[in-house]
Amino acid sequence: MDHALIESTLGGLAAANSRELERRCDRIASSYVREQVEPQFDVNSADFERDPFLICADRYWNHRFRDEPTLVTAVACAAWLAEHVAAAVHEPIREKWALGYAFITRDSVESAGEIADATGDIVAADDSSCNKAYFATLYHAGKLRADLYFDELALFLDASPLAMAAGPHRDSVLFRALRAFAAFGSRRATAEYARELFDKVWTDPERTYAAVDVALNGLALSVEFDGLGVLLRDRATEAVALYPDSHILHYRLAAGRLMCGEHDDALVSIDTALRLLPAIGWRVSHELLQGQYLARREAIEVARVQARRAAAEREDAERIKDEIAKLAETVRGSVVKVIEGVSIFAAIIAFAVGSLNISLNGNLSLGGRLWIIASFGGGLLLFALLVVGGTWAIVHRLSRPARE
């Protein structure tokens, strides 16, 4: 292949529109794959949208991983990165490639034997073995993450010879983010342990975009614990402030707001994620992510409708309760008034009848009659007061809970 001509062609694509750039770069990458030759140009930026050299290299390795989704390919990719990618942009490209290619080949998780064989080859290779082992570790860990194999991921990161061969890279912020992801989803790890790992990642001044994404992904998939929704919402808000153009972070924020019952805000976040999701690129990933986002949007809409319906039902229940309480109070007042009236009327009738009998009795003197009438009337008055007072006290006690 004429490598000089390809470099010249790629250099001339800098002004092409995005679709033309994608198409032309993919054609060149496919020719490299057919000829079984690796690209010889260098990559000096991490601009996956406009740099023709990076886009072509990305397409080339995408084809390679799809054709042979193995650790052998991962090692070859790591070697190419070390030789052709500028040191200033090496880390973001390595993280994006390792996890991205793992996602598109997540249905091809290698066995323990295959991992052991690859590890032996890597360790025996050369002085750059730890860099190759690190890329291969991220690639395999990315497959386990994409398949939600939480316990297997934790075991692989903590005990696999391949992960051990990564050496000092084991302390990288992305490596620790993957451990936090595994802990959040595992039912063997405690929420406190998972949050401890997460906080170390989140407060690390060297945290990368990939580490932020992986850590939030684990939090969003976590086994339920107190404060999960609030923590996800708050941390995703911070992440969106750092990376406002990331559709996946807006998607995480939508999930956190949904957990917190903030349905209107969640709808804004998921719509932003859909708007930012690129309409170009590898269609499988785009369609898969778009399906996930639309499903989350539908869940938010359903939850919002249910919340509004529940709120309306609560308002109706409170209104009916108030009306019943008012009606009961009115009925109690009416009963008290009736009892009071009957008691007083009965006392008057009894007094009138009793007084008439005493007045018609000619055997008593006038003073005696007046004394008897006064005593009899006082007794009836006291009786009426006791009946009225007792009725009021009973009704007041029964109506107190309703008022409270």
Distance CA 197, CA 191 (A): 10
Start-to-end CA distance of the chain, whole Å, equals 88
Q: How many CB atoms lie within 10 A of CB 246?
A: 18
CB of 118 within 8 A of CB of 71? yes
Mean pLDDT, the chain, integer: 86
* Boundaries of every domain in the chain: 322-403
- Write down the pLDDT at residue 309: 81
Angle between helical axes of 209-220 and 191-202 (0-180°, round to 10) = 160
- Write down the pLDDT at residue 283: 45
343-367 pLDDT, tens per residue?
A: 566 556 655 555 555 555 556 566 6
- Write down the pLDDT at residue 280: 57
Angle between helical axes of 129-146 and 112-123 (0-180°, round to 10) = 160
Q: What is the pLDDT averaged over residues 137-161?
A: 96
Q: What is the pLDDT averaged over residues 361-379?
A: 62
- Write down the pLDDT at residue 357: 55
CB of 214 within 8 A of CB of 224? no
Amino acid at 160: S
pTM, to two decimals: 0.77
